[in-house]
Amino acid sequence: MTDFITSGLRTVELEAKAVSQLTPRINQNFVLACETILACQGRVVVTGMGKSGHIGNKIASTLASTGTPAFFVHPGEASHGDLGMITKADVVIAISNSGSTSEVTRLLPLIIRLGIPLISMTGDANSQLSQAACAHLDVSVASEACPLNLAPTTSTTVTLVMGDALAIALLEARGFSAEDFAFSHPGGALGRKLLLRVCDIMHKDEDIPKVMIDQPLQDALIEMTQKGFGMTTIISKDKTLIGVFTDGDLRRAIDQKVNISTTTMAAVMSPHPKTINKDMLAVEALTIMESTSITALIVEDEKGRPTGVLHLHDILRAGVV
């Protein structure tokens, strides 16, 4: 019976060892590959056949999401029209473990004729593909994890890691920031955290609960019930914010047995409420809510007027967390 654990551990150990052997290969050829891509005025075109193609697709995707415009072209399709996607301004990364995959090497004459810089990722430095490249990245392995030494396993892992090393080196060279990353991932959680601002999700205009400072408490209760935020802003005659009245303030007022018909907001409001501005990131507003144990924040403009209300539920609905 197969010992699954032993087999699994053997694969992990073989691939980990192969990856560790990449260290000395991050050398001048790696630097040349990075410099070639940084100098590129077009895009990085990644190509590869079979399993190398799958890895190439992932490398192209990683490059594109980290500041290096890139896309994958299937070498078989390239020979039937897709070569028109490649321009003189581009750089080609060709992946082939043997360095002699016919579908890939068939593209060499045109790449050379157009003078397009070629970066190869192969397991044979003397192969046709490697020799044609301006920079060769060595992704050779002693053996595959497959006991038959046939199925691409260790070699594809090593190639993927080399691609990641290339992408991250370029990311750092470009000064690619977390906000840059977010712009290419607007639909993801990270994108929402780094891009979504208070003004994008706040309640404004007639949705803002407002009560004048000289109005009775009963008016505030009606406003709070209608607007549903568990609070209302308190404003002066010139419409500037001077206080807030919350459910907590209401409980204290009840304990003090105040007359809701005659007591004005000046007597029961909380002055100097916590406010935010509309351009603040929603995730920053969430941090304020968590640190102050409140569920709604007033958005204040430069003239001290309430222009919006942001509730915890708005942030949750937006998928920031």
DSSP 110-176: HHHHHT--EEEEES-TTSHHHHH-SEEEE---S--SSTTS-SSSHHHHHHHHHHHHHHHHHHHHHT-
Q: Which of 1-5, 54-58, 164-168, 273-277 has the lowest mean pLDDT?
A: 1-5
Cα 238–chain centre separation: 43
pLDDT in tens, 262-287: 999 999 999 999 999 999 888 888 88
Average per-residue pLDDT for the chain: 89
Rounded to the nearest 10°, the torsion over CA 247, 249, 253, 259 is -80
Give CATH for domain 198-317.
Answer: 3.10.580.10
- Residue 47 host element (H or E): strand 44-48
Which distant-in-sequence residues (6+ apart) come within 8 Å of 42 by Cβ?
Answer: 69, 87, 88, 89, 90, 91
Q: What is the pTM of this model?
A: 0.65
The pairing of strands 270-271 and 241-246 is antiparallel
Output 285-291 pairs: Cβ under 8 A, ≥24 positions apart. 285/198, 285/310, 285/315, 286/312, 286/315, 286/320, 286/321, 289/315
- Phi and psi at residue 198, to the nearest 5°: -55, -45
How far apart (Å, rounded) are the C-alpha atoms in residues 313 and 299?
16
How far apart (Å, rounded) are the C-alpha atoms in residues 170 and 163?
11
What CATH fold (topology level) applies to the domain 4-176? Rossmann fold (3.40.50)
CB 48 within 8 A of CB 123: no
Distances (CA, A) of 146 to 7, 151, 154, 177: 10, 6, 8, 39
pLDDT in tens, 137-167: 999 999 898 888 778 899 999 999 999 999 9
pLDDT in tens, 228-238: 888 999 999 99
Instruction: Say which DSSP state 91 is in.
Output: E
Q: What confidence score (pLDDT) does residue 194 get?
A: 65
Query: Where in the sequence of the chain do the CATH 3.10.580.10 domains occur?
Result: 198-317
Alpha helices in the chain (DSSP H): 4-20, 28-38, 51-65, 75-78, 102-105, 108-114, 128-132, 154-174, 178-183, 189-195, 198-201, 217-227, 247-255, 265-268, 282-292, 312-317
Query: Where in the sequence of the chain do the CATH 3.40.50.10490 domains occur?
Result: 4-176
Helix axes 154-174, 51-65, angle to 10 degrees: 20
**Given a cut of 80, is residue 222 above it in pLDDT?**
yes
**Given a cut of 60, is residue 48 above it in pLDDT?**
yes
pLDDT in tens, 84-143: 678 899 999 999 999 999 999 999 988 998 899 999 999 999 999 999 999 999 999 998
The pairing of strands 306-311 and 135-138 is unpaired
Stretch 292-313: mean pLDDT, rounded? 92
Which distant-in-sequence residues (6+ apart) come within 8 Å of 67 by Cβ?
Answer: 170, 171, 174, 176, 180
